[in-house]
Structure 1
Amino acid sequence: MQARKDAGVTQVELGKRLGQRQTFISKIELGERRLDAAEFIEACRAIPVDPYALMQKAEGAD
């Protein structure tokens, strides 16, 4: 969620970029739905953010 916000992308806009509804993005951000690896990479490219850098940042947040 933070990467999306940092990029200035709304849930609606990201959903459109992915061919999904805003509720799809909301469920992911609320932890109600998980992304598989391919979806994660596609979402990162749509923001755009480097998937590897985002994973490294997440690992450092622990």
Structure 2
Amino acid sequence: MASMARNTKYEHFQGALIEARQKNNLTQQEVASRIGKPQSYVSKYESGERRLDVVEFLDVCKALGVKPISILKRLDTDDQEEIYP
């Protein structure tokens, strides 16, 4: 499989998830155990090798002990139109 194209917003998303994990003093293994996945699952979404769908994202946030909106607020949305004015 070809590597995913770099996407700055997704990189910010990854960084926010990594930062949340580190601020909560959690290892990748601890997060993985909380969501019932192998440690490599966490490593892959943190490195950008795989992407999270919305349901997976919610599970990860719960495991990290953070509200999903706190992660989403970290993303830069300046160059997108508002969906709801």
Largest Rg, 1 or 2: 2
1:43 is aligned to 2:81: no
CA–CA separation in structure 1 for the residues paired with 2:62 and 2:23: 14
1:19 is aligned to 2:13: no
CA–CA separation in structure 2 for the residues paired with 1:40 and 1:17: 13
Counterpart of 2:33, as a letter, is: K
What is the root-mean-square deviation of aligned Cα atoms in Å? Answer: 1.1
CA–CA separation in structure 2 for the residues paired with 1:48 and 1:17: 11
CA–CA separation in structure 1 for the residues paired with 2:44 and 2:71: 19
Structure 2 unpaired stretches of 5+: 1-17, 78-85
1:15-62 residue CA offsets vs partner (Å, 9 max, x unmatched): 0001001111000000000000000011001110010111002337xx
1:53 is aligned to 2:70: yes
CA–CA separation in structure 1 for the residues paired with 2:75 and 2:57: 13
Identity rate of aligned residues, in percent?
38
Partner of 1:58, secondary structure, is: coil
Structure 1 unpaired stretches of 5+: none
More helix by share: 1
Number of positions where the alignment pairs a residue of Structure 1 with one of Structure 2: 60
State the 4+ residue runs in structure 1 displaced beyond 2 angstroms.
Answer: none
